[in-house]
Structures are given as structure tokens and as C-alpha cells.
């Protein structure tokens, strides 16, 4: 039943032939952009990374036991995005280092950048002591799967329309919705991760993030898990007391985590520093949810909601900046109630509403608008009074969020109501502990 966590190193090497690009412009165009091949060369190979990006909202969903349950995207472990304050833009440093020339030519140079063209925005969970290491479910392969262990979103940097859109924006503005997207995954500045196979995996992930893990938004080489950052191939990862560099290749540790094979995959050192990459990092902390009446949930309830989010600087360009603070209000944590359990009949034949399934009001409050950015109206009913959420029936099958009983193949019994006094969990006749969705945002 047990599996080993392995550290796997896979090299990622990017080779760019700038001479071929310059030859193209010299031989196939009537004039080199800017009229100066040396300046164009320096702009294309500029050491100033063109982009910066940031997240302003994080949602966490504790659902587990879904190893054999389909998911159309309604359920997730983390969903992170930029909806109000941050997003993607050209960095001010890059703008400051561009000689004032024709804007169209600068946008064209972004498409040919040897440093950034082809990279993707990537959401992942990485190790604080080495940002080249990615937390993955190794049943998904040594590098994980896009949409599960990591998530690439937005178009690749340097595509023509994206480069032009970003360069012609006002310098202080951020791009959060890309109108030229060819697919839904490239439309919104939003990524999601799914670690929902078991409660053991759920617990291990929270433990990892509470200690050495960080949720990162980085610029990664397309199709890979390598975050781009400054440095050179000679930079080594220092481990232990700092006297011994980690080897380039080979295993550097292993452990058992219940019945799941979860661990850290490495993209290799390549040309990146271990602890400085372009992007941003946040570290969430967790707590027990309150009951619907604000009471103590009892000792059996795991810490299934976000308690706080802390910014972690992984990009040295952010040193000295004072970001907006994060807020994780109790009013934005919701017990997940399945549609068939939203109402029930008590011993006196009274129909009791456990969670109301009502449409949103015509005008949303500021808080409900934030909630709907993470829990979409087409997927969820939200009951802000009882602080619960019901997935809409079209998005639910047997076992959604709570898993199936292996013998009956029906959803496990869930103790929504009496868990503070009767307890909850596997083996408890009262049923499983309820799962929750919770949201934090930048104020």
C-alpha cells in the first residue's frame, strides 16, 4: 500500500541561436528594426526580464477521496488568480532600460526575446529551500501533470498579440483578462491545482505548506516545470550545513506518506538559481472551520480552511516593495453540502434546510463578488447566512468531494450537523467530517 517519495532530477536546457534571428532580419527584411542591428541584438538578449506578475486571491478546497471520481473543474484544491489589483504587466525596470524608439518595434523585440519568449505563467507548489523542486503526485509521472500538479495558463510570453497588448498598456496597469485568448485556459489570469486522491494526501499537503512549501506563480519554460530566474549553470544548491552542494542528478531523499506516492520533482539546475526565480510566492496557513453558529468544531475536525496567507519573496526584484495585506474572513469559509443533502426531514417530519440553493441577488455585495471569482455561479449555490456551498447538480456524481464507499459505490455518509459533539471521520458511525471551501484576498 505504501509508496516512496522520490526526488527526481530532470534537466531542462534552452538553446537559443540569436545569430539566426539576426541573420533573418539582415537577409529577409528591407531594414533592421530600429535601423541598428547592434541595438536590436542587445534588446533581444537584454538581461532585464520583461515581465512581472502577481496573485490577489487564493481559494482552498479540502475535498479528498476522489481518486476514482470525475471532475469537470468544479472541485479543486487550490485556485489562485488576479481579479482586482495584480495580474501580468511589463516590468518598470524593463521599460526604463528600453531606449525610446518606435513602440511597435519594442513589441516585436519582446516576441524574439531570448530570455522570455515561449515561457508560460505557471502555478505550482514548490520547496522553499529549493524553488526548482515541485510538489507532485508521482502517479502522474516524475514531472507531474498540467492541471493537477502544476498549471500553465495565459498564452506563452512573446506571442504577438500578447506582447503588443502588454507593451501598449499603461505602465501601472495589469492584464487580468486576455481578450485574444484562443481557449478558456488562456482567457483569465487564473490557475488551479488538484490534490484530491485521499485524506492522507490532503493532510500531507497542508503539512508541507505549513513548513517548507510555498505556492508559486513563476515563468516556466513551456511544457516543463523549470522556473526561470537569474544565475548560471555554475550555481549549486547548498544543503545541510552549507558545506556540501547537492548533486546535479540522483536522489537526495525519500519518505513514506500513507498510501500515496507524493513527493518533489526537480526541474534541474540548468541556468537558474535555487532560491531566486521570476514571479511571486505565497504561503498559506490553515485552521479548523467554525461551525455555522460560530462555535467550536470539536477535536475530530481537521484544519480545513485558510487562516492566513503570507507573501514570500522569491523574486529579488520585489525586495523593498510593500504589497497589499491578505484577508481571510470567516465569512468566506463554506461547508460543502452535496445537493441531495441540502434539505432533510427531521424526526417530526419537518423539512429542514441545511443549505439554501437560491440564485444570487441581482446586485452582488463586494464580498459576494469576490466569492464568485473563485466559486463560479454556474458551478455553485452559495448560502452566506448558513455559510455553506452546494455544487450544482450538473457538476456532481457519486463520490464528489467526499469519495465513494468501496462496497456500495455510493457517497460516504457525511456528518454535517453533529460533528462537534459526536465526532466525525473514517470509522465513525456518524460519518465523515464535512469538507470546506475558503477564500483569502488582498485588501
DSSP letters, 142-192, are TT--BTTTEEEESPPTT-HHHHHHHHHS-TT--B-B-TT-SSGGGTBSEEE
- The pTM of the full predicted model, rounded to 2 decimals, is 0.83
What is the tens place of the pLDDT at every residue in 7-66? 333 333 222 233 333 333 333 333 344 444 556 677 788 778 999 999 999 999 999 999
pLDDT of residue 23: 39
Spatial contact of 429 and 298, defined as CB atoms under 8 Å apart: no
Average pLDDT over residues 158-171: 95
Q: What is the mean pLDDT of the chain?
A: 82
Side-chain-side CA neighbours of residue 279 (13 Å): 27
Number of domains in the chain: 1
Among 62, 69, 73, 72, CA closest to 399: 69
What is the tens place of the pLDDT at every residue in 425-439? 999 999 999 999 999
Spatial contact of 414 and 32, defined as CB atoms under 8 Å apart: no
Work out the percent of the chain whose per-residue pLDDT is above 90.
Answer: 61
Residue 322: pLDDT band with limits 50, 70, 90: confident
Cell matching residue 346: 427531521
Cell matching residue 212: 517548507
Tell me if residue 230 falls in helix, strand or coil: coil
pLDDT of residue 301: 98
Average pLDDT over residues 101-117: 84
Q: Is the dihedral of CA 299, 304, 308, 309 positive or negative?
A: positive
Query: What is the length of the chain?
Result: 443
What is the tens place of the pLDDT at every residue in 273-294? 456 899 999 999 999 999 877 7
Among 56, 61, 58, CA closest to 85: 56
Q: Which residue is listed with cell 541556468? A: 271
* Residue-range definition of the domain harbouring residue 388: 4-442
Tell me if residue 377 falls in helix, strand or coil: coil
Helix (H) or strand (E) holding 37: helix 37-44
| Residue 239 or 129, more confident | 129
pLDDT of residue 317: 87
pLDDT of residue 70: 87
Tell me if residue 221 falls in helix, strand or coil: strand
Amino acid at each position: 500500500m505504501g509508496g516512496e517519495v522520490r526526488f527526481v532530477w530532470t534537466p531542462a536546457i534552452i538553446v537559443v541561436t540569436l545569430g539566426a534571428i539576426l541573420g533573418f532580419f539582415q537577409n529577409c527584411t528591407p531594414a533592421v528594426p530600429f535601423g541598428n542591428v547592434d541595438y536590436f541584438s542587445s534588446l533581444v538578449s537584454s538581461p532585464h526580464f520583461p515581465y512581472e506578475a502577481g496573485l490577489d486571491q487564493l481559494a482552498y478546497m479540502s475535498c479528498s477521496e476522489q481518486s476514482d471520481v470525475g471532475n469537470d473543474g468544479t472541485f479543486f484544491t487550490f485556485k489562485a488568480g488576479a481579479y482586482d489589483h495584480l495580474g501580468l504587466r511589463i516590468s518598470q525596470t524593463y521599460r526604463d532600460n528600453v531606449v525610446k524608439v518606435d513602440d511597435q518595434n519594442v513589441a516585436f523585440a519582446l516576441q524574439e526575446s531570448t530570455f522570455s519568449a515561449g515561457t508560460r505563467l505557471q502555478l505550482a507548489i514548490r520547496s522553499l529551500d529549493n524553488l526548482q523542486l515541485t510538489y507532485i503526485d508521482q502517479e502522474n509521472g516524475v514531472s507531474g501533470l498540467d492541471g493537477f500538479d502544476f498549471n500553465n495558463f495565459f498564452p506563452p510570453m512573446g506571442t504577438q498579440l500578447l506582447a503588443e497588448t502588454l507593451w501598449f498598456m499603461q505602465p501601472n496597469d495589469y492584464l487580468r483578462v486576455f481578450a485574444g485568448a484562443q481557449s478558456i485556459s488562456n482567457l483569465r489570469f487564473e490557475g488551479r491545482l488538484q490534490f484530491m486522491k485521499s485524506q492522507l494526501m490532503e493532510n500531507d499537503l497542508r503539512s508541507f505548506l505549513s513548513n517548507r512549501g510555498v505556492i508559486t506563480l513563476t515563468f516556466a519554460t513551456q511544457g516543463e516545470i523549470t522556473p526561470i530566474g537569474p544565475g548560471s549553470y555554475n550555481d549549486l544548491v547548498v544543503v545541510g550545513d552549507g558545506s556540501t552542494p547537492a548533486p546535479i542528478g540522483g536522489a537526495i531523499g525519500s519518505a513514506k506518506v500513507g498510501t500515496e506516492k507524493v513527493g518533489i520533482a526537480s526541474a534541474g539546475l540548468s541556468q537558474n538559481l535555487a532560491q531566486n526565480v521570476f514571479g511571486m510566492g505565497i504561503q498559506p496557513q490553515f485552521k479548523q472551520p467554525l461551525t455555522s453558529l460560530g462555535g467550536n468544531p470539536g477535536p475530530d475536525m481537521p484544519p480545513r480552511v485558510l487562516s492566513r496567507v503570507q507573501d514570500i519573496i522569491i523574486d529579488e526584484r520585489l525586495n523593498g516593495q510593500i504589497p497589499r495585506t491578505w484577508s481571510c474572513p470567516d465569512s468566506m469559509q463554506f461547508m460543502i453540502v452535496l445537493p441531495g443533502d441540502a434539505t432533510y426531514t427531521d424526526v417530526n417530519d419537518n423539512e429542514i434546510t441545511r443549505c439554501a440553493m437560491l440564485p444570487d441577488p441581482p446586485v452582488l455585495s463586494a464580498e459576494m463578488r469576490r466569492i464568485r471569482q473563485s466559486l463560479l455561479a454556474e458551478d455553485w449555490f452559495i448560502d452566506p447566512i448558513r455559510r455553506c456551498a452546494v455544487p450544482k447538480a450538473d457538476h456532481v456524481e457519486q463520490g464528489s468531494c467526499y469519495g465513494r464507499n468501496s462496497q456500495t459505490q455510493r457517497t460516504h455518509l457525511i456528518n454535517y450537523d453533529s460533528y462537534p459533539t459526536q465526532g466525525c471521520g473514517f470509522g465513525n458511525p456518524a460519518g465523515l467530517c464535512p469538507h470546506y471551501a475558503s477564500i483569502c484576498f488582498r485588501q
